[in-house]
Amino acid sequence: MEITAGPVDIDDDADSEVRAAVVAAESVLSGRFGAAVRLADPERLGGAGRSVVVRVRVASTPFSLPRTLVVKRYPSAVADRDPFAHEAVSHQLLTALPGEDRLTPELVAQDGGQRLVVLEDLGKAPRLAEKLLGPDARAAERGLLSWAHAMGRLHATTAGRDADFDALMRRQGGQCCADPIAVDVHAALAGLPALLAGSLRVGTPPAVLEFAARAVRGFGTSRRRAFSPSTSCPDNHLVTSKGVRFLDFEGGCVRDVVFDAACLRVPFPSCWCPYGLPAGMSEAMVAAWRAEVGSVWPDLDDDAVFLPRLLEAQFLWVWLSTWRGLPGLDLALPSGHRPLDSPPRGTVLASRWVRLRSDAVALGEKHVAAHAEAMISALITRYGPETLELPLYPAFR
């Protein structure tokens, strides 16, 4: 089938990385289908520095292909992990799901030699970040609740897929069972107490260290496991007419589902661009998630089971973000990839400790609450009381 006629050359303005990604995708698609496939009109969609993401038009093909596709290519591996392996395996696992259960782009082709995936183009639907930074509070609220429901459905439909994921990772040549966040959590567990003592003169009592160690052990042995996108950034969630769809699986893995649920209580803990949410919003999101997973893990309907695990996951996220972010607070670094649309990093970090304090008090975890109080006081002493003033997302003002 000839979709369009005429010249299909790549735009001269396309940079060399984009050009290389398009040429590689043409080669992979042509090899898979056994006939020439030509792509045109590349539009760079961004990328996290490790990857190149391009929307392309299918200019010429003898087969029935969509009019546009998305190409994601990883020019090289990262030192201690390979995001391409996680991306490719995640899409293989999720594309095998029935269409009605799929909450991600369909995988069209992938190639380990070229280090790329070719994906279904979900179109130009707004991202969750656009809803939160926009003027419509109801649209932002619907987007957040849709995200929570979608996360729960993703967990429910991929429950118990550990063996499948691990087999695909071995076939891809990636590290079996590697959860990039788990690797970083263990590093934070080992390194944060000394960092807190040296940077803020905050000690870490033995009871808090034991709480952290118990949390890590619990998540490592949990049977409540399912696929996790491993990133919670609102730029990685498309708000479509059919609900939220997930993008970007550079750290995709199978892990304890409650660890992901904590991203609803501490919204977007893997990035530095979040504002605050209205009172009760996080609780509504957690309830939406629980409604989706209760049929698979009925014990999570029991607050006595669920809330202590949620607090442990929340604690680990706060420790991890502190370990990652504290060394850069004094450098006045912009908050991630949205420096004009983000509060200061110190304010983001302090807000996470404030929420941890209140949730620890509610569950009677007095040692964790006291540790959080010490951290909040140290951050105020270092950066001033305005550190606690996290504004709401623009949509909720």
pTM value > 0.85: yes
Contacts of 98 (CB under 8 A, 6+ apart): none
Q: What angle do CA 134, 148, 130 make, to 5 degrees?
A: 15
SS3 sequence of the chain: CCCCCCCCCCCCCCCHHHHHHHHHHHHHHHHHHCCCCEEEEEEEEECCCCCEEEEEEEEECCCCCCCEEEEEECCCCCCCCCHHHHHHHHHHHHHCCCHHHCCCCCEEEEECCCCEEEEECCCCCCEHHHHHHCCCHHHHHHHHHHHHHHHHHHHHHCCCCHHHHHHHHHHHCCCCCCCHHHHHHHHHHHHHHHHHHHHHCCCCCHHHHHHHHHHHHHHHHCCCEEEECCCCCHHHEEEECCEEEECCCCCCEEEEHHHHHHHHHCCCCCCCCCCECCCCHHHHHHHHHHHHHCCCCHHHHCHHHHHHHHHHHHHHHHHHHHHHHHHHHHHCCCCCCCCCCCCCHHHHHHHHHHHHHHHHHHCCCHHHHHHHHHHHHHHHHHHCHHHHCCCECHHHC
User: Residues, the chain, total?
Assistant: 397
Contacts of 292 (CB under 8 A, 6+ apart): 149, 151, 152, 153, 155, 156
pLDDT at 308: 97
pLDDT at 177: 60
Structural domains of the chain ordered from first start: 16-120 (3.30.200.20), 128-396 (3.90.1200)
- Is the CB of residue 248 less than 8 Å from the CB of residue 231? yes
Cα atoms in the Cβ-side hemisphere of radius 13 Å centred on 248: 19
Angle between helical axes of 366-383 and 180-200 (0-180°, round to 10): 60
pLDDT at 9: 46
Q: What is the pLDDT of residues 308-362, one digit of tens each?
A: 999 999 999 999 999 999 988 876 555 555 555 678 889 999 999 999 999 999 9
Going residue by residue through the chain, which has 397 residues, state the pLDDT in tens, using 9 for 90 and above. Answer: 333 333 334 444 448 889 999 999 999 999 988 889 999 999 998 765 678 999 999 998 877 888 999 999 998 766 567 889 999 999 999 999 988 888 999 999 999 999 999 999 998 899 999 999 999 999 999 999 999 999 999 999 999 899 999 999 888 876 666 688 888 899 999 999 999 999 999 999 999 999 999 999 988 889 999 999 988 889 999 999 889 999 989 889 999 999 999 999 999 998 888 999 999 999 999 999 999 999 999 999 999 999 999 999 999 999 999 999 998 887 655 555 555 567 888 999 999 999 999 999 999 999 999 999 999 999 999 989 999 999 999 999 9
